[in-house]
A and B are shown apart, each in its own frame.
Chain A
Amino acid sequence: MSVDVMIRHGLERITLDVRFTLGPGLTALLGPSGAGKTRTLDVIAGLLHPSEGRVVIDGDVLTDTSQRLDVPPHRRRIGYVFQDSRLFPHLTVRQNLGFSRWFTRDPKAGIAFDDVVRLLDLEPVLTRHPARLSGGERRRVALGRALLSHPRLLLLDEPLGSVEAAKRQEILPYLDRLIADLRLPMIYVTHDWDEVRGRAAHVVLIEDGRTRNGAI
């Protein structure tokens, strides 16, 4: 799978020139804060509209400003686990997880609800509202919710960010399980090399809005 992102975002005077190819498994997008990592994900997901540029995934052109083409986010089939989880506060965990079942064309394709619940150990919290979850639980729900939208690509924005080191065990083993069990391409954004060491199949360095491709 190839992701080709070349954008100039005029309004914020940011130039992102990001090109990288994704393999199966985890691609780490590594760089210091402010380098343009989250913006790159937002552009790939279609939530940020570049003033100039292209996003192509597997030959599927999602954004091309020269052709005035911009596939709306809900038709991109890209799962996005936001840094701040963004769970719907008015819905229970079960309803949050099932949110996409109304829009998924073929709900039977892809991973099943029960498998996600089991994989992420969410059974005990299914009836709770997000306000009554711990930070780690919240991230796991966000992860499960994105998986259940049956994406072809999963974006993870600092899934361990602002989680204390001791609590990272609430998330890390689950991530490893997902990487092993699901053959789903993922982009993992982080500024911490240690998080992705041994997990990432590819590493893309991003600095000042530019990428330097590298392999391990």
Chain B
Amino acid sequence: MSPELSIVLLSVKVALVATIASMPAAVVVALILARRQFWGRSVLNAIVHLPLVMPPVVTGYLLLTTFGTRGPVGAFLEQAFGLVVAFRWTGAALAAAVMGFPLMVRAIRLAIEQVDPDLEAAARSLGASPLWTTCAVTLPLALPGILSGMMLAFAKALGEFGATITFVSNIPGETRTLALAIYTLTQTPGSDAAIWRLLSLSIGVSFTALLASEALARRMERRRR
């Protein structure tokens, strides 16, 4: 396999795992923010949005101190499950997931807020518990928003740089994703051709993902008519 292709595959793997693994949590948080009134709601909202406004290096460093082998969570994960994320591709996925999380939550929350509460009331009157109502009415109606949120998070994950390089460093074959590989090449004289190869691959992947999500959204719209 050419080195470029393996870099692309690693990046896509990291971004896909980050997006899919963080989706359930994003849906839960979005549901809470959209439908529940409670003390501390704005605090939760602020915490969710922190990775969006903090410098990515700060997020990466916080991840390193928490999930590193000597960090509290990292040590626990290693002892209990033998799972190490620091300096592994799984750590890159974790960093990407954290950075994309606010975008995903935001899109899903907006979609849930668009769902007519009257429809939820109708479901309740038909015998559906709150959980059933969420699963059978709210989430299916918010599906386009959930998908566009996942798309945004995927795009963010694909281009993530600062938190990744701080948390899991820049290890070829393990954590060197597209953005990191391009950065590395820019530091190496005489690698213009390689940079352009990676750049076009990067644009190609992003473009394909955008087209695919657009097609998916249009198909869902059509099914509803």
Contacts and interface: CB of A to CB of B under 8 A. Distances in A.
A213 to B, nearest CB: 26
B125 A45 contact: yes
A212 interface: no
B126 A99 contact: yes
A103 B125 contact: no
Interface residues of B, number: 21
Nearest to A79: B125
Interface in B110-136: 116, 118-119, 121-130, 132, 136
A78 B126 CA distance: 8
A104 B125 contact: no
A215 B99 CA distance: 67
Contacts of A72: 124, 129-130
Chain B residues touching A, majority SS: helix
B129 A103 contact: yes
A84 interface: yes
A132 interface: yes
A90 B141 contact: yes
B224 A99 contact: no
B129 A74 contact: yes
Interface in B137-153: 137, 140-141, 143
Nearest to A47: B121
Interface string A64-84: 000000001111111110101
A91 B126 CA distance: 15
Interface residues on A, range: 20 to 34
A78 B125 contact: yes
A149 interface: yes
A131 B221 CA distance: 12
Contacts of A100: 126-128
Interface in A95-130: 99-100, 102-104, 129
Nearest to A128: B225
A99 B124 CA distance: 11
A131 to B, nearest CB: 6
A140 interface: no
Given A74-B124, A90-B141, A132 B225 contact: yes
A162 to B, nearest CB: 16
Give the top 7 A-B pairs by smallest Cβ distance, nearest first: A103-B127, A86-B122, A73-B124, A80-B125, A100-B126, A149-B126, A100-B127
Given A74-B128, A78-B125, A100-B127, 11 more contacts: A45-B125, A72-B124, A73-B124, A74-B125, A86-B119, A88-B119, A89-B224, A90-B141, A103-B127, A145-B126, A149-B127
Interface of B: 116, 118-119, 121-130, 132, 136-137, 140-141, 143, 224-225
28 contacts: A45-B125, A73-B121, A73-B125, A74-B127, A74-B129, A76-B125, A77-B127, A82-B118, A84-B118, A86-B116, A86-B119, A86-B121, A88-B119, A88-B137, A88-B141, A89-B141, A89-B224, A90-B143, A100-B127, A103-B126, A103-B128, A103-B129, A131-B224, A131-B225, A132-B225, A145-B126, A149-B126, A149-B127
